[in-house]
């Protein structure tokens, strides 16, 4: 009996040591990001950046509209199955916002999901889509954000249960579900209409973040844009591919009415998160971009 107990103790000690090695030494190496090139030489256009910010939904996520928060000052609550994430202040305040960030810092955050301090961001921040952003678009976005009124507003800690609250596990999550794309120079204005539409939907608009099925770990594993049974409001999010609309094809006017007014062809109005998206993003875009 004593030999059995000793054996179990040794096995427990080895398992504990193995977990310690995995936790402290292996996990930090997973999901390592490619360092973006130095982009601080790029001159941004704040006017274009304002449009990029609108197309990317920055205001809707980084403003606590419900509680009358100041624009882009953060603390908007994102409720998920893992807990509640609170968006950060992205005004140019140097202490509580991103006033001290360079264009390269913003590029690393958007395309690699890594903070200037080297920490992984939680994927509630849709860098999984923004990773396809073009370099000039990022520089223009930074130029616009720098024109905002700085707001001193400390970021609120996320209310997420362990182990999902532990950033060490994010490297493993990224290794499984995130592919960092190679940074492309130039702006999205250079794209032909079809490629620009794909860029607006898949990258800036990050439509797939809600309209693609996720697994129990929050990774997008289903067919892109084919629908999601675990939507941000706890309900089902419909598929928006041509295949999903094959029985009731949408015309160009149907798409415009849905994105500009929130009214699909059935005459009903969208609600929940999508209503807020319509109010702050597609309804403010140029019709030719829809």
CB distance 265 to 259 below 8 Å: no
Cβ 63 vs Cβ 70: under 8 Å: yes
- Containing 20, the helix (H) or strand (E) segment is helix 2-21
**68: number of CA atoms within 13 Å, CB side?**
0
pLDDT tens per residue across span 134-185: 999 999 999 999 999 999 999 999 999 888 878 888 888 898 999 999 999 9
Residue 26 reports pLDDT greater than 70 = no
Instruction: Count Cα atoms within 13 angstroms, Cβ side, for 257.
Output: 12
Q: What digits encode the pLDDT tens for the residues 104-131? A: 999 999 999 999 999 999 999 999 999 9
Give the DSSP letter of residue 201: I
* Helix or strand holding residue 77 (H, E): strand 77-80
Residues 134, 48: contact at Cβ < 8 Å? no
Ranges of each domain in the chain? 28-191
pLDDT tens track for 195-221: 999 999 999 999 988 888 988 888 888
Contact call for residues 99 and 91 (beta carbons, < 8 A):
yes
**Helix or strand (DSSP H, E) at 279:** helix 272-280
In the 8-state DSSP scheme, what is residue 156?
Answer: P
- 3-state secondary structure (DSSP) of residue 256: helix
Q: For the chain, give me the number of helices (H) and strands (E)?
A: 11, 3
Split at pLDDT 50, 70, 90, the class of 24 is very low
Two tokens at 204?
């800036």
Asked if 53 and 36 touch (Cβ cutoff 8 Å), the reply is no
DSSP SS3 for 96? coil
Length of the chain as a residue count: 290
> Nearest-CA neighbor of 92 among 105, 101, 104, 80?
101
7 three-state secondary structure: helix
Place of tokens 């009903």: 268
Phi, psi torsion values for 85, nearest 5 degrees: -100, 140
| Count of C-beta atoms within a 10 Å radius of residue 219 | 17
CA 193 to CA 177: how far, in whole Å?
Answer: 29
List the single range of 35-49, 175-189, 233-247, 254-268 with lowest mean pLDDT: 233-247
The answer to whether 107 and 39 have CB atoms below 8 angstroms apart is: yes
């Amino acid at each position: 009996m004593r030999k059995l107990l000793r054996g179990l103790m040794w096995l427990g000690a080895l398992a504990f040591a193995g977990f310690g090695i995995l936790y402290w030494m292996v996990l930090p190496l997973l999901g390592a990001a490619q360092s973006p090139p130095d982009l601080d030489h790029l001159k941004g256009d704040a006017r274009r950046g304002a449009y990029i910010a609108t197309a990317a939904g920055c205001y809707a996520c980084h403003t606590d509209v419900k509680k009358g928060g100041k624009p882009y000052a953060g603390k908007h609550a994102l409720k998920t199955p893992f807990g509640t994430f609170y968006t950060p202040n992205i005004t140019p305040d140097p202490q509580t916002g991103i006033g001290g960030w360079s264009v390269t810092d913003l590029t690393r955050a958007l395309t690699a999901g890594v903070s200037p301090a080297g920490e992984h961001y939680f994927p509630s921040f849709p860098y999984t889509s923004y990773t396809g952003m073009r370099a000039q678009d990022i520089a223009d976005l930074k130029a616009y954000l720098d024109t905002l009124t700085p707001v001193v507003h400390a970021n609120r800690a996320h209310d997420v249960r362990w182990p999902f609250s532990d950033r060490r596990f994010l490297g493993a999550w990224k290794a499984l579900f995130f592919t960092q794309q190679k940074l492309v120079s130039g702006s999205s204005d250079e794209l032909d209409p079809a490629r620009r539409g794909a860029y607006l939907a898949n990258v800036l608009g990050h439509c797939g973040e809600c309209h693609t099925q996720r697994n129990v770990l929050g990774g997008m594993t289903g067919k892109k844009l084919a629908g999601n049974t675990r939507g941000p409001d706890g309900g089902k999010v419909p598929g928006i591919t041509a295949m999903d609309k094959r029985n009731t094809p949408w015309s160009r006017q149907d798409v415009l009415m849905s994105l500009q007014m929130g009214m699909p062809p059935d005459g009903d109005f969208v609600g929940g998160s999508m209503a807020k998206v319509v109010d702050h993003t597609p309804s403010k875009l140029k019709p030719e971009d829809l």
